[in-house]
C-alpha cells in the first residue's frame, strides 16, 4: 500500500515535470522572449543586458531549474498582451470558472443519478427509452451547439435569460461570486446546463449499467427472498453499491469539466480562465498559455491522485478494471 502511494506520487511528479518542460519549451523557444518584451528602438546592448539579467544566457538546465522554482513559487511572468502579472489575471478569473464547473457538476449528479436509477430499474418503460434516446443526442450534440440552441431559444426568441457574461457579482475578499444575487444566478443557468449536459449523460449511462449489473447479483436476490420491500432493495442495497464507481468517475470528470469549460466560456463570453486561455492562444500570449497549461495539469494530477488512492482504499476489485471516460 505504502509502496503504491509512493509510486503514484512519483508518477505525478514526473507528469508535472513533463508538463513544466513543455511549458518551458513554449516559453523559451516559441518566439524570442526579449523581442516580445522590448520596443523596436531598444539598442542591441540593452537587449543583451536584459538577456543577461533574465538569465537567458545560462545553460539550458539551469534555466529550466529556475523556471520550475519560479513556477512552484507562483511566479508565472507577465502577460505579453495585457502587461500584467499572469498570476493576478488567473486569480481574477478562477472563481468564475470554478463556480461554473461546480454548478455544472452538481446539476449533472443531481439529475443524472435519478435518471440512471430509473432507467436501470425499469429498462422497458417508455420514459427510460426516452431518457436513453436523449442521452445519445446529448453525446452527439457538441457542447457549443447546445449552448447556441439555448441562446437562440431563451436569449433571442423568449428573451428570458442573459446570453453572455456573469451578471452581477459580489466580492468576498479575492473571490468574486455570482451565486448570491438573482442576476448572477440567472446568468449561470444556461452555461451550467450546457457544460453539465455531457457529464449528465455519462453519469446516467454509468448508473444505469451499474444498476442493471447489481440487480442481477445474488445478494439482491437474497434481499428479495428475505421479503424486504422494493424500496429497501433498490435504494438500500442496489444503489449504494453502484455509487462507488459513480463517485470516482465524477471525481475524474471534474477535471474534464474544468477543461471543457473553455468551450462553454467561449459561447457565453463567461469571464473565466478558459476564455482567458483561448484569447491568449489567438495572440500567442505564451505566459498565459503556459500558466493555464500547468494549472490545469496540476488540477488533473491532484484529482487523479486522490481518486486513485480512494480506489485502493474503498474497493480492491477496482484495481483491475478502471473505467476512464470522457474525450
Residue 78's DSSP bridge partners are 85
Q: Minimal CA–CA distance to 20: which of 282, 283, 301, 259?
A: 301
Which position among 76, 118, 268, 300 is part of the footprint of another protein (CB under 8 A)?
A: 300
Residue 9 sits in the site that holds another protein (CB under 8 A): no
- Is 266 among the residues that bind another protein (CB under 8 A)? yes
Q: Which residues ranging from 142 to 181 are in contact with another protein (CB under 8 A)?
A: 142-145, 148-149, 151-152, 155-156, 163
CB 16 → another protein: shortest distance, Å? 11
* Cell representation of residue 160: 428570458
Instruction: List the one residue from 214, 262, 276, 295 that touches another protein (CB under 8 A).
Output: 262
* Position 134 contacts another protein (CB under 8 A): no
At residue 45's C-alpha, the angle toward residues 42 and 50, to 5°, is 75
Please, which residues bridge with residue 175 across strands? 172
Which 52-81 residues touch another protein, going by CB under 8 A?
none
C-alpha to C-alpha distance for 285 and 276, rounded to whole angstroms: 10
Indicate the SS3 state at residue 85.
strand
Using CB under 8 A, pick the residue from 104, 192, 197, 252 that binds another protein. 252
Phi, psi of 316 (to 5 degrees): -65, -25
Q: Which stretch binds another protein (CB under 8 A): 58-66, 209-217, 241-249, 286-294?
A: 286-294
Site for another protein in 26-45 (CB under 8 A): 26, 30-31
Binding status of residue 298 toward another protein by CB under 8 A: no
C-alpha 281/C-alpha 79 separation (Å) is: 12
Q: Is 141 in the site for another protein (CB under 8 A)?
A: yes
Helix (H) or strand (E) holding 303: helix 286-314
The dihedral of CA 219, 224, 229, 230: what is its sign?
positive
Q: Is 140 in the site for another protein (CB under 8 A)?
A: yes
Q: Which span sits near another protein by CB under 8 A: 77-85, 113-121, 226-234, 285-293?
A: 285-293
CB of 277 to another protein, least distance (A): 8
| SS3 per residue for 166-203 | CCCCEEECCEEECCCCHHHHHHHHHHHHHHHHHHHHHH
In Å, the largest CA–CA distance within the chain is 89
Q: Rule CB under 8 A: which residues touch another protein?
A: 11, 15, 18, 22, 26, 30-31, 136-137, 139-145, 148-149, 151-152, 155-156, 163, 252, 255-256, 259-260, 262-263, 266-267, 278, 281-282, 284, 286, 289, 293, 296-297, 300, 304, 324, 326-327
Amino acid at each position: 500500500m505504502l509502496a503504491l502511494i509512493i509510486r503514484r506520487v512519483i508518477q505525478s511528479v514526473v507528469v508535472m515535470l513533463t508538463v513544466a518542460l513543455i511549458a518551458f519549451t513554449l516559453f523559451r523557444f516559441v518566439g524570442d522572449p526579449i523581442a516580445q518584451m522590448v520596443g523596436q528602438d531598444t539598442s542591441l546592448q540593452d537587449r543583451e543586458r536584459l538577456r543577461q539579467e533574465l538569465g537567458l544566457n545560462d545553460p539550458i538546465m539551469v534555466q529550466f531549474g529556475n523556471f520550475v522554482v519560479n513556477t512552484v513559487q507562483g511566479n508565472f511572468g507577465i502577460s505579453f498582451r495585457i502587461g500584467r502579472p499572469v498570476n493576478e489575471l488567473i486569480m481574477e478569473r478562477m472563481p468564475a470558472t470554478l463556480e461554473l464547473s461546480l454548478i455544472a457538476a452538481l446539476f449533472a449528479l443531481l439529475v443524472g443519478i435519478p435518471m440512471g436509477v430509473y432507467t436501470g430499474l425499469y429498462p422497458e418503460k417508455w420514459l427510460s427509452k426516452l431518457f436513453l434516446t436523449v442521452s445519445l443526442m446529448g453525446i452527439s450534440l457538441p457542447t457549443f451547439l447546445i449552448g447556441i440552441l439555448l441562446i437562440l431559444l431563451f436569449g433571442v426568441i423568449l428573451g428570458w435569460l442573459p446570453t453572455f457574461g456573469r451578471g452581477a457579482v459580489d466580492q468576498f475578499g479575492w473571490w468574486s461570486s455570482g451565486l448570491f444575487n438573482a442576476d448572477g444566478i440567472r446568468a449561470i443557468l444556461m452555461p451550467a446546463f450546457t457544460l453539465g449536459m455531457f457529464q449528465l449523460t455519462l453519469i446516467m449511462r454509468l448508473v444505469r449499467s451499474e444498476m442493471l449489473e447489481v440487480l442481477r447479483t445474488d445478494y439482491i436476490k437474497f434481499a428479495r427472498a428475505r421479503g424486504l420491500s422494493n424500496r429497501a432493495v433498490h435504494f438500500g442495497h442496489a444503489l449504494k453499491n453502484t455509487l462507488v464507481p459513480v463517485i470516482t468517475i465524477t471525481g475524474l470528470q471534474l477535471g474534464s469539466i474544468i477543461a471543457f469549460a473553455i468551450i462553454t466560456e467561449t459561447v457565453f463570453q463567461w469571464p473565466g480562465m478558459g476564455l482567458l486561455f483561448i484569447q491568449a492562444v489567438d495572440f500567442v500570449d505564451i505566459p498565459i498559455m503556459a500558466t493555464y497549461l500547468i494549472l490545469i495539469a496540476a488540477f488533473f494530477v491532484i484529482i487523479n491522485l486522490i481518486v486513485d488512492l480512494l480506489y485502493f482504499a474503498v474497493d480492491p476489485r477496482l484495481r483491475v478494471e478502471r473505467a476512464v471516460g470522457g474525450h
